[in-house]
A and B are shown apart, each in its own frame.
Chain A
C-alpha cells in the first residue's frame, strides 16, 4: 500500500546539513498497522511527513497504492491536499475556532474531495460515533479534555475515508492511564475498518502493543523491520535489542561455534555463522534463572544478590558476578533468596543473543 524506495531528505542547519532520512526502503502492506520506532531525531517523523507530502524529499520515490505521489527523479510531487490521506498530529491540531462537528466536517466541505451536504452530515455522524463523541458534537473543541480532542483528531482523519492513515506520536500528550486506553481503541478501530496505518512513536511498549510490524529507525536509517516478537527476541543488532527492552551484556571472544569466553567464564550458545571473533553476549533480565543451590547445568555462574526491588507484578534482582553487574526480573517471589546471599545465575542457551562488538 505504501511503497518507499531509497528515500532521502536532508535539512540545512546553520552549521551543516543533516540527513534526516537516509536512503530508506520500506513496504507497508494493505491493512497493515505499521509502526516507525525510534528516538527523537531518528528521522521517523520526517519520514512520515514525507509520506504526507508535508516535506519534499531530495531523492527517492513514494507510492500510495498504484499512484506515485513523490519522485524526485521524475519530478513528481503531489501536494498533501491531493494525496487522499488522513493524519493525526502530535498536537492534535484540532481547529480551536470550530466545534467538534465543524472540525470533522471541514475537510469534507472545503477540501479537494468535497461531498454533498447530506453526505457530509452522514459521514461526520458516523465518524463521531466511531470515536464515541456524538454527545459533544456541537461543543467548541477548546472545552474538551485532551483525550477527547485526540478523538476529534482521529474522527477527522477517519471521516475522509483515507487510503492511508498517518499518525505522529498521537498519544504522547496523554497521561499514562489514558494512553493505554486510547491505544487499545486505535488498534481496534484500525482493524475494524481495515485501514492501512503508518504510526510514529518513540515508546517501544506502545509500538509493540499496536504494530503488526515495526521498523526501528536510527540516524535516518532503518535498522530492522519485523513483527514485535521477532524484534524483541531476535534483534539483528545491539541497538535494536536495547531499544525494545533492557539487556544484560557481556563482552566475549568466540572460541568455536558453540562457545564464547566472557568475563564470567565460558558461555555455551549457538554462535551464528559469520559472527566475528569479538562479540557481545546479551540476555534479557526476565530470561535469567536464579536459584540458591547450583543445579550443575551449563551456563551457570555463582553471583551475589546485591538488592531486590519489589514492584508488585514483578520483582527485580540486582546481582553481581565476578565484578559484573546484572539485572534479573521475575514474576515469582522466591523467599529463599536473601539480599547479600550467594546465588546461582543460569543463562538458558536458547535465550542468548550474540551481536558483533
Chain B
C-alpha cells in the first residue's frame, strides 16, 4: 500500500484535481438552484426548508401563462429555424449550389453574431410605435394603427428562429454529411427520381438527426433570453428565462430568490428530461451512418437554374437575419429620434452620438472589462478542458465517463440558472468574501458554463491522437506532464486555438449570464447596451451596438479564416 502512495504522480494528481474541482463546481451550482428553491427570504437570512415556493408557483395563474408563452415561443422558433436549417443544409451538402463555401461561412459566422443586437434591430424595424417599416407603411397608406408588430409572441419567436437557423443548419448538415451517399446512389441507379429519393430515402435516413436537432432547438429556445429579454419583456411577454430575471430584478419590492429557484428547478428538470429523447435520436442517427475509411462524395444534385432560387432563399435569410436589423440599428444611431428615411431625416443624421458615447468613462470601463473576460475566460476554459479531456480520453480512470457527463451538463441546462446560482452563492458569502457584483463572478460562471464546449472540442481532438504516440514517450522515460505538454498539446493545437477563439468571441457577445451578475462596477459592453436599452437610451444603445459590431467583424473574420484552414468548421457546436 505504501509503495503505491510513493508512486503517485503529481502531474496526474494536478490534472485530476482540476477536473474534479470543475465537476464539483458544476454539480454544486445545480444543487444550489434546487437548494434556493427550498428556502425563503433574502440569501443568508435564516430560513427553514420549505415547499412554499412550489405551492406558490403552482397556485399562481401567472406560472401557467409563462409556461404556455414559453411553449408557443419555442414552437414558433422551431417552426422557423429547423426548416430553414434543413433547406440550407441540403443545398450545401447535397447540391451543386455555386459559392457553397461562402454560404457555409456566412451561416456559421451567424452563430456568433450577438443575438440581442439582432433583436434590437427588429424592434427598430417593426415596433408598432418606433418601427421604421411600420411608420413608413402608416404614412404610405394613411393607416391609424401599425400593420405589423414584432413585440408579439409570434414576433419574438420569429426573430429567435432566424437567430437559431444557423445552429439548425450546422446540426443537420453534420447528419447529411455523415450519411452514406451510396444509399442515395442505389436509389437513383434503380430508377428512383431525385425528388422521390429525397422524400423516401434521404429524409427517413436523416429523420433521427432531424428529431435530435428539433429537441436541441427546444432546449435552446426554452433557455433563450436575449430576444425575449429585449423585445418581449417591455411588452409584458414573459418566458421562463425572462420571468426568472424579472423575479430577481423586480420593478418594486425585494428579489424573490426562492421562487426563481423553483422556476429554475423546473427548467433544470425539463432540460435534463429532454436529453433522453435527444440522445436516443442521436444514437439512432449514428446507426444510420456508415463510416467508411474512404470518404467519397456522391455526385451532387444538379440544381440547374434552380440555383438562383437557392441563393435567393439564402439571400432573403441573410437580409432578414443580419442586413436589415443592422441597417436599422445604424440608421437609428445616426438620428436624434427614430424616424423614417427621408430628405428631412437625412439632413439631421450625424455621428454626433458616437463622439458623445465613445468618451464616456463608464463605456470605456465596460470595454476594458469585456476585454479582460475575452482573454481570461478562454484561457481558463482551455486549461480546465484540457485537464478534463485528458482524464476522459487518455487516462483509464474508473468513472471518467461520469466526469464527461458532468462536463456536458452545462450544455443543455440554461446558462442563466448557473448565473442565478452563482449570484446566490456570492450573496451568501458576501460578508466573508465580497464577491457579489465583481468581474470575478462573471468570469467564474462563463468558465463553468462553457467547459462543456471546451471539452467537446478537446475530447474530439484528443481521441484522434493515437494512444501509442503517448506510450512511446512514456516508455522513452518522459513523465506524464511533459508528455501532455510536448506531445499531446502540440498535436491538438488546432483544437485548442479553435476552442480559445470561439469562447473568447462568445464572451464578447454574451448577454444572458452577464445581466444576472453585472453590477455598476462590472459592466460589460453587452450589459451596458442592455442598460441603455431599458433605460430609454435607444439611440445610444444603437450607437454602441454599431461600435460593437465594427470591432467584432475583423475578429470573427480572422477566426473564420483560421477555422477553415484547420478544417474545424464549427463542427463542435452541437
Interface residues of A (CB under 8 A from B): 52-54, 74-77, 79-87, 89-97, 106-107, 110-113, 153, 156, 160, 166
Contacts and interface: CB of A to CB of B under 8 A. Distances in A.
B402 to A, nearest CB: 17
A93 B476 contact: no
B475 A95 contact: no
A96 B477 contact: no
Nearest to B490: A97
B478 A89 contact: no
Contacts of B479: 81, 112
B476 A95 contact: no
A110 to B, nearest CB: 5
B292 to A, nearest CB: 20
B483 to A, nearest CB: 9
- Judged by DSSP, the binding face of B is helix
Q: Which 10 A-B pairs have the closest CB atoms?
A: A107-B476, A111-B477, A93-B468, A93-B472, A112-B477, A89-B468, A87-B475, A75-B3, A80-B474, A97-B490
Given A75-B3, A93-B471, A111 B487 contact: no
Given A75-B3, A79-B9, A110 B472 contact: no
Nearest to A114: B477
B468 A106 contact: no
A87 B472 CA distance: 7
Contact of B473 (A75, A86, A107): A107
B482 interface: yes
Contacts of A75: 1-4
B475 A82 contact: no
Given A89-B472, A97-B491, A160-B477, 5 more contacts: A80-B475, A90-B468, A93-B469, A107-B473, A111-B476
B486 A106 contact: yes
Contacts of B477: 81-82, 84, 107, 111-113, 160
B466 interface: yes
Contact of B475 (A52, A74, A76, A77): A52
A154 to B, nearest CB: 12
Interface of B: 1-4, 7, 9, 466, 468-469, 471-479, 482, 486-487, 490-491
7 contacts: A74-B3, A80-B475, A81-B478, A84-B477, A90-B468, A93-B468, A160-B476
A96 B70 CA distance: 51
A234 to B, nearest CB: 36
Contacts of A166: 475
Contact of A156 (B468, B471, B476): B476
Contacts of A107: 473, 476-478
A166 B471 CA distance: 12
B491 A54 contact: no
B474 A81 contact: yes
A80 B1 contact: no
A160 B7 CA distance: 23
A2 B478 CA distance: 22
Contacts of A90: 468
B151 to A, nearest CB: 55
Given A54-B471, A87-B475, A112-B477, A95 B487 contact: yes
Contacts of B469: 93, 95-96
Contacts of A96: 469, 491
A76 B4 CA distance: 8
Contacts of B482: 110
B9 A93 contact: no
B7 A106 contact: no
A86 B4 contact: no
A67 to B, nearest CB: 14
Contacts of A74: 3
A91 B471 CA distance: 11
B474 A106 contact: no
B478 A111 contact: yes
Given A75-B3, A79-B7, A106-B486, A85 B473 contact: no
B471 A80 contact: yes
B476 A89 contact: no
Contacts of B466: 91, 93
Nearest to B491: A97
A54 B486 contact: no
A151 B482 CA distance: 24
Nearest to B482: A110
Contacts of B474: 53-54, 79-81
B491 A86 contact: no
B3 A76 contact: yes
